[in-house]
Amino acid sequence: MANSNQNQSATLTTILNEIMGIKDQLKVLQPLRDEIAALRKENLVLKTGLKQMISVINSNTRYLYGQNVLIHGISENPDESKSNLHATVLPILNSLNSGSGISLEDVENVHRLGPFVPNSPKTRAIVVKLRSKNIRNVIVSKAREMRPPKGIKSSGPYVTSHTPFNKLLEFDSLFSLSDCTVPNQETISPPRKKQSRQPHKRNNL
């Protein structure tokens, strides 16, 4: 009976010592917990600021493209100039404008979309930046009404809006971790021990 009590007492002492050891380890980890909490708070502040910045950038991008239209299906001329493009696009724009006629003063800029690629089978669209967003909206609305049904290719030049979906930033894509991998503990090989080199013995001849 006495031996049983002694064994139980020893077991309890061992358990208490282990608990005290765990408490000491938790005290050591407390500064790390505080640092992690501070980093999480800072990360939240940074993400909130970044979201606001992305919203402003996307708003400005939509504004910059808000007066643009694209004219497709006009063959390219290697020697074409801006004045040639003006003369080409004005009749098309006027045919879609139900209000007053569009003149050179209504067009802020005109150019081909993207760089010129020799012998390319694709014809680059023409970007027209209008000075008035109202005129742009009228032209885009009329162009949609005249667009052929889905599946039927247009027989001539046609106009679309210049929607910059590929220019807009997405918050979630900036923090995608799908391509990141963390190695398992099993795949991490322990450091190799340096082998002590034995001195080379020379054979005396």
**Are residues 56 and 71 located together in one domain of the fold?**
no
Could you list the residue range(s) of the whole structural domain that residue 51 is in? Answer: 11-65
What digits encode the pLDDT tens for the residues 29-48? 788 888 888 999 999 999 88
Number of domains in the chain: 2
In a domain, 90, yes or no: yes
**Rounded (to 5) percent helix, strand, coil in the chain:** 50, 10, 40
In a domain, 203, yes or no: no
Q: Would you call 125 helix, strand, or coil by DSSP?
A: coil
In a domain, 197, yes or no: no
**Are residues 71 and 157 located together in one domain of the fold?**
yes
In a domain, 2, yes or no: no
* Dihedral angle of Cα 76, 82, 85, 90, to the nearest 10 degrees: 170
**Are residues 100 and 76 located together in one domain of the fold?**
yes
In a domain, 204, yes or no: no
Q: What is the pLDDT of residue 190?
A: 40
**Are residues 154 and 82 located together in one domain of the fold?**
yes
**Are residues 27 and 100 located together in one domain of the fold?**
no
**Are residues 50 and 127 located together in one domain of the fold?**
no
**Are residues 106 and 19 located together in one domain of the fold?**
no
What digits encode the pLDDT tens for the residues 150-159? 777 777 888 9
Is the per-residue pLDDT at 110 higher than 90?
yes
The Cα 122–Cα 116 span in angstroms is 10
pLDDT tier at 186, thresholds 50, 70, 90: very low
**Are residues 55 and 111 located together in one domain of the fold?**
no
Angular region, 151: left φ>0, alpha ψ -120 to 50, beta rest = left
CATH number of the domain enclosing 155: 3.30.70.1820
In a domain, 155, yes or no: yes
- Nearest Cα neighbor of 54 from 173, 177, 172, 171 is 171
**Are residues 75 and 31 located together in one domain of the fold?**
no
In a domain, 199, yes or no: no
**Are residues 42 and 77 located together in one domain of the fold?**
no
Tokens of 134: 């109202």
What digits encode the pLDDT tens for the residues 69-100? 999 989 888 788 888 999 999 998 988 876 56
Q: What is the pLDDT of residue 173?
A: 62
Concatenate the DSSP letters of all residues of 147-158 into one string: SPPTT---SS-E
Around 28, how many Cα atoms within 13 Å sit in the side-chain half-sphere?
Answer: 6
In a domain, 75, yes or no: yes
Q: How far is CA 109 from CA 8, 50, 72, 82, 152, in A?
A: 91, 32, 16, 9, 31
Predicted TM-score (pTM) above 0.75: no
